[in-house]
Chains A and B, each alone.
Chain A
Amino acid sequence: AQSVAQPEDQVNVAEGNPLTVKCTYSVSGNPYLFWYVQYPNRGLQFLLKYITGDNLVKGSYGFEAEFNKSQTSFHLKKPSALVSDSALYFCAVRPPTDSWGKLQFGAGTQVVVTP
């Protein structure tokens, strides 16, 4: 069965420190991988995606993610976190066998950045 795991319910980090949000997946083949962010009472905003190519993907607001095929991981990173990065982050997978763009989401990780 296909699945997406975000092993941490919450990540706490001090402002200015590096931020990492973990995601692993269990999908056959080469999936499309996405990160979205959700601010309180808002919809999901796209951050970045991996389709193919360079394993390090750069996205919006200074975020990047590293695709690791051997570990089936797609961790989100930011070198220096801001208080405004506090939000709920979702990893999502689109299986390569899916032609209709359907996404499977992880449970989400709440990021709290303290001043």
Chain B
Amino acid sequence: NAGVTQTPKFRILKIGQSMTLQCAQDMNHNYMYWYRQDPGMGLKLIYYSVGAGITDKGEVPNGYNVSRSTTEDFPLRLELAAPSQTSVYFCASSTAASEAFFGQGTRLTVV
């Protein structure tokens, strides 16, 4: 039972580069989320999805894009990476009634 799987675990990007953070869940959850964690700031919601083909912005969406073509996958795209996007990124999933289940995180550094 893998739960929520994120890849890669670590990545260093140069300013202006792009990348996709992968997230997959095997629990058949409809709801999926991307959060970023910065020291002393807790977790902030970037984007979320309530089902395949349905996504919406969270609290801090600028500089990111998402897509949800299947129930299982919810990739996060960074376009034109900036130092302000240096953070730890967490993907999570849930149902309408359950707690959220989190992946192990992706630590991204933009230099």
Whether B99 lies near A108 (C-beta < 8 A) is no
Binary CB contact string for chain B from 82 to 111 against chain A (1 if under 8 A, 0 otherwise): 000000001010111001111111000000
B residues less than 8 Å from A34 (CB atoms): 99-100
Q: Which residues of B contact A43 (CB under 8 A)?
A: 4, 90, 102-105
B41 within 8 A of A: yes
Q: B94, A101: Cβ atoms under 8 Å? A: yes
Could you say which interface size class chain A belongs to?
Answer: 20 to 34
User: What number of B residues sit within 8 Å (CB to CB) of A?
Assistant: 26
Whether B42 and A102, one on each chain, are in contact in the complex, defined by CB atoms closer than 8 angstroms, is no
Comparing B12-20, B43-51, B60-68, B69-77, the segment that makes contact with chain A is B43-51
CB distance from B2 to the nearest CB of A (A): 13
Query: Do A101 and B96 touch across chains, with their CB atoms under 8 A apart?
Result: yes
Provided the pairs A90-B43, A103-B45 are in contact, do residues A42 and B105 lie with their beta carbons within 8 angstroms?
yes
Type the 1/0 row for A95-107, where 1 means its CB is closer than 8 Å to any CB of B.
0000111110111
Instruction: Give Cα A4 to B45, complex, Å.
Output: 14
Q: Do B102 and A44 touch across chains, with their CB atoms under 8 A apart?
A: yes
Cα(A100)–Cα(B97), bound, Å:
10
Contacts of A102 in B (CB 8 A): 33, 45, 48, 58
* A42–B41 CB distance below 8 A: no
Given contacts A43-B103, A100-B48, A102-B48, is CB(A107)–CB(B42) below 8 Å?
A: yes
Most buried by A among B43, B48, B58: B43
- Contact with A103, one of B41, B50, B100 (Cβ below 8 angstroms): B100
**Interface assignment of A49: CB less than 8 Å from any CB of chain B:** yes
B residues near A105, Cβ cutoff 8 Å: 35, 42-44
Q: Which residues of A contact B (CB under 8 A)?
A: 4, 9, 34, 36, 41-46, 49, 90, 99-103, 105-108
Known pairs A34-B100, A43-B4, A107-B42 / 9 extra A-B pairs, C-beta < 8 Å = A42-B104, A43-B102, A45-B102, A46-B101, A90-B43, A101-B100, A102-B48, A105-B35, A105-B42
7 A-B contacts (beta carbon < 8 Å): A34-B100, A43-B105, A46-B100, A102-B45, A103-B43, A105-B42, A106-B42
